[in-house]
Structure 1
Amino acid sequence: MESPRKRLDRDVLVTTALALADAEGLTAVTTRRVGQEHGVSPMALYRHFRDKDQILDAIAERLLSEVRLPEPDDRVWDVQLRDVLTALLTVLRPHAAAAGLVTTRILGSPPGLAIAERTLELLAAAGFGVEQGAEIASQSLCSMVTLVVTEPGRVQTEDPQAREDAVQAKRASLESLSPVRYPHLVAAAGALASCASGDVYYARGVELLVAGIRGVRTGTPTPAV
């Protein structure tokens, strides 16, 4: 029988799994590895998680539960939507390796449902119909994940020197391109390799998205394909 000392709280296990994802990526998150971190066998986790997928579900729910949705107020819909998206980004930014989990799991837990409902509510207030609002909400929330996982300079390592080496290698690779054929890529090599300011990068990303939604709402013509 399992020793009482080894009875593990579900939240503690999720915290461990998220820390593993942050440090080593999602491939490190297994029932065996999480159990090892607590000195127990994978069987000891089965009370809470049958397999890795359930651990990943729990990580996604943990992230979504930490999003602090702003209270509804009298400001225009796009300002409130910007704040909702920023609240999601604030939670995802420190957890790039796990951020992608919320893309397919946001409708699978109460915290995710609350975020989706609020987003749809704001889009309805903007005048979008059900179908268009659903598409825009889905694309908007997924775009926040994309901003995080594709942040220039994002490297899966806790070693500052390894990160710097990776950034410099990417910059050097871009700078070595033909300046005749790729003049803009060569000029932007530094910015493409690493963000000068993460805060500016994310604020600009949110504003570009919200501005695009405003454009759709006001009937900006869509180019023919």
Structure 2
Amino acid sequence: MTARTRTPATPKERLSRTTVAAAALGMADAEGLDAVTVRRLSATLGVTPMALYWHFKDKDALLDGVVEAILAEVRLAEPDDEAPWDEQLREVLDALVAALAAHPAAADLVRTRVLGSEPGRVLTERVLTLLRRGGFSTERSSQLAVHALLFMIGLVSGLPGQAVGASEEEREQEVRTKWAMLQALPPKRYPHIVESAASLTDCGSSTEWFEVGMDTLMAGIRGQAARG
């Protein structure tokens, strides 16, 4: 019996929501969010724009998919009823920051879309559960969860020296320009700005930057819990 030859999959058959969203996210990582268009994405994937509409009805839906792809990268440990709530919350928020920091150009999209996908809902439910265990009311837990999300997005997008879509040479030139501007300020009037010019314009260690930020956030949450 002659073996049947399998017909190669067509581009449309090879595409999926996951592959399209991943390609859009990769484009944003490399060139910035403004570079992501349906026309460019379809050309990159080797299909017509209409082929993408099988998976996303418009660009807004595509951006929802990008956020889902980011949040799918958040690695949550199994819940532990014995571990302190605040230690578990810190681990969850650290995992979220790590996922956002891997895609700084698209991090701000998460601000209003976190509840639009299953990974985002799972993450939010875990955060709210831990805050409730910390003694916060439903309303205060919701407020703290939103504040934490906004803080972490700002932590990622505000990283000194970050330049999404720019070459290393372009990034260094931008940092030098900002540093020179601060160094040119009158030192008697702005002594601490001049002294801090290097760290204000370029982050020496992104790990330390995120750790200090997360320490500050968690200190505030623990402080509110201690006050009841």
Match of 1:24 in 2: 31
Counterpart CA distance in 1 for 2:99 and 2:223 is: 27
Say yes or no: does 1:148 pair with 2:153: no
Match of 1:56 in 2: 63
Match of 1:79 among 67, 84, 87: 87
Deviation at 1:205, TM superposition (A): 0.7
Counterpart CA distance in 1 for 2:133 and 2:16 is: 42
Match of 2:5 in 1: none
Match of 1:99 in 2: 107
Counterpart CA distance in 1 for 2:97 and 2:28 is: 18
Deviation at 1:4, TM superposition (A): 5.1
Deviation at 1:23, TM superposition (A): 1.3
Higher mean displacement: 3-12 or 198-207: 3-12
Counterpart CA distance in 2 for 1:129 and 1:116 is: 15
Answer whether contact 2:17 2:65 (CA < 8 A) is retained.
no
1:164-203 to 2 correspondences below 5 Å: 164-203=172-211
Alpha-carbon RMSD: 1.5
Deviation at 1:92, TM superposition (A): 1.1
Q: Which has the larger radius of gyration?
A: 2
Seq. identity, %:
46
Deviation at 1:5, TM superposition (A): 2.5
Match of 2:144 in 1: 136
**Could you tell me which amino acid in structure 1 is paired with residue 45 of structure 2?**
H
SS at match of 2:159: coil
For each residue in 1:164-211, what CA deviation from the matched residue of structure 2 results, as whole angstroms up to 9, or x when unmatched?
111111111111112122111111110011111111110111111000
Match of 1:212 in 2: 220
Deviation at 1:26, TM superposition (A): 1.2
Q: TM-score, length-normalised on structure 2? A: 0.91
**Could you tell me which amino acid in structure 2 is paired with residue 176 of structure 1?**
A
Match of 2:50 in 1: 43
Deviation at 1:39, TM superposition (A): 2.5
Higher mean displacement: 179-188 or 51-60: 179-188
Counterpart CA distance in 2 for 1:94 and 1:119 is: 21
Match of 1:6 in 2: 11
Match of 2:168 in 1: 160
Answer whether contact 1:157 1:163 (CA < 8 A) is retained.
no
Match of 1:223 in 2: none
Match of 2:3 in 1: none
How many positions carry a matched residue from both structures? 218
For each residue in 1:114-134, what CA deviation from the matched residue of structure 2 results, as whole angstroms up to 9, or x when unmatched?
111111111111110011110
SS at match of 1:90: helix
SS at match of 1:96: coil
Counterpart CA distance in 1 for 2:123 and 2:185 is: 43
> Structure 2 regions of 5+ residues with no counterpart?
1-7
Counterpart CA distance in 1 for 2:125 and 2:18 is: 25
For each residue in 1:93-133, what CA deviation from the matched residue of structure 2 results, as whole angstroms up to 9, or x when unmatched?
12100011111011111110111111111111111001111
Q: TM-score, length-normalised on structure 1? A: 0.92
> Structure 1 regions of 5+ residues with no counterpart?
221-225
